[in-house]
Amino acid sequence: MKKQIKVDLGDRSYNIVIGKNAITEISKLVYNFSKIIVITDDIVYNLHYQCIKNFLPQHQTIVIENGEKAKSFTVANNICEQILQHNIDRKSLIIAFGGGVVGDLAGFVAAILLRGIAFIQVPTTLLAMVDSSVGGKVAINSLYGKNLLGSFYQPKAVICDLDFLATLPNRQFLAGYAEVAKYGFIADNNFFSYLDSNYNDILQGDERHLLEIVAKSCQIKADIVARDEFELGDRALLNFGHTFAHVFETETNYSGEILHGEAVALGMAMAMQMSFKLNLIDKSQLDLALNHLNKLGFKLHASYFRQSWLVDNLVQHLFKDKKNQHKQLVFILLDKIGRAKIIKNVDLQLFIDVLKDFI
């Protein structure tokens, strides 16, 4: 069974197709292009390239080294030159085949080549299926921080073939699940209850539940993006837990010591604690939410990842957060499970207090 979700953005609308064997759908989408370029990483290439190859007409394939380091100007430039060497035109198509790194990088390349050529996202990690492939944020990293060079550039389609998840290491699957739980926390209490009742089957990779959680996550993100494509308001709610997460990711230099999703789970626990300290949520809601993350096996204390952390360094990273306005701290907090709010002008001391509870 397959599900289809529309991201409603006027003449830039597109569909997300989700299901087992959904990759077959790609042949219906690629017939009208003058040239097709598949961008993937070495791991995905070795595991799954044959699956996609069979459904594409003649194409060029570019394989990058897996890992966050690929989101650089050097790699982006290299890819552009390899593509331009083959005389592309504005009717060419890029297919991003991989996790969030490949999606962000290939989308960035698509946005700048000839001032923009079409691209399709074929995500292969849970995180990419439920988050990075949807919504059109494309980016590479700068020496000064992550995702600082980029654009809003929507794909023509997203194809989430759940079969790809079978090869994903457990640690990566759980990291992706953090974003799934996030949607329950920020937007849908019923979805949270569903996750809390079925987490065991989900972790076992039960097909029916995988289809449900990917589809529901994409639907929630699609609705938010349709309301606020360029993050002028509500889209910031999707950053729940991310402000805390970024300070740990920056401190570890995005080395993989703490994965993005692991940092988000820890960050969500901290954001809930902050919500509790501000009397936005009560103790029973806090316990319910934290219990869920604990049952899943998330490490909700930063000492699991590194024995000691320097508060001063973490605070410095906090001030680089893109959400801050005129040096005032902005956090996404919960006022109950299923409803998030943007809270401005948060006291730095409160951030430090919460930080100290978790490091």
Nearer to ligand NAD, 238 or 355 (CB): 238
Q: Is 231 a residue of the active site?
A: yes
Taking Cα atoms as reference points, which of 32, 37, 28, 30 lies closest to residue 4? 28
Structure tokens at 285: 């809601």
If one asks whether residue 100 binds ligand NAD (CB under 6 A), the answer comes out as yes
The least CB distance from residue 312 to ligand NAD, in Å, is 25
Contact between 104 and ligand NAD (CB under 6 A)?
Answer: yes
List the one residue out of 60, 69, 72 whose CA is nearest residue 97: 60
Decide: is 147 part of the binding site for ligand NAD (CB under 6 A): yes
Among 19-27, 167-175, 291-299, 329-337, the segment contacting ligand NAD (CB under 6 A): 167-175
Q: Is 217 in the site for ligand NAD (CB under 6 A)?
A: no
**Bridge partners of residue 145, in order along the sequence:** 142
Touching ligand NAD, residues 328-357 (CB under 6 A): none
- The three-state secondary structure class of 217 is helix
Active-site residue (options: 68, 212, 229, 231) = 231
Tokens 């987490």 sit on residue: 199
- Chosen residue from 14, 164, 177, 298 binding ligand NAD by CB under 6 A: 164
Q: What ranges in the chain are assigned the alpha helix state H?
A: 42-53, 73-84, 100-112, 126-127, 170-187, 189-203, 207-227, 242-251, 260-277, 283-296, 311-318, 348-358
User: Cα-flanking dihedrals φ and ψ of residue 343, to 5°?
Assistant: -115, 120
Phi and psi for 88 in degrees, rounded to 5? -80, 165
On whether the CB atoms of residues 71 and 254 are closer than 8 A, the answer is no
Residues within window 115-144 making contact with ligand NAD, judged by CB under 6 A: 124-125, 127-128, 131-132, 135, 137
Q: In the beta sheet, which residues pair with residue 41?
A: 64
Residue tagged 């995005």 (tokens) = 254
- Residue 241 within binding range of ligand NAD, rule CB under 6 A: no
Q: Which of 9, 24, 43, 330 binds ligand NAD (CB under 6 A)?
A: 43
Please pick, among 68, 141, 156, 179, the residue that the annotation labels catalytic: 179
**What type of residue sits at position 311?**
V
Tell whether residue 258 is a contact of ligand NAD (CB under 6 A).
no
158 contributes a contact to ligand NAD by CB under 6 A: no
109 vs 127 by CB, closer to ligand NAD: 127
Return the biggest CA–CA distance within the chain. Answer: 61
Whether 12 sits among the annotated catalytic residues: the reply is no
Q: Which residues bind ligand NAD (CB under 6 A)?
A: 41, 43-44, 47, 66-68, 71, 98-102, 104, 124-125, 127-128, 131-132, 135, 137, 146-147, 164, 167-168, 172, 260
Q: Hey, which residues are catalytic here?
A: 115, 137, 179, 221, 231, 235, 239, 242, 246, 260
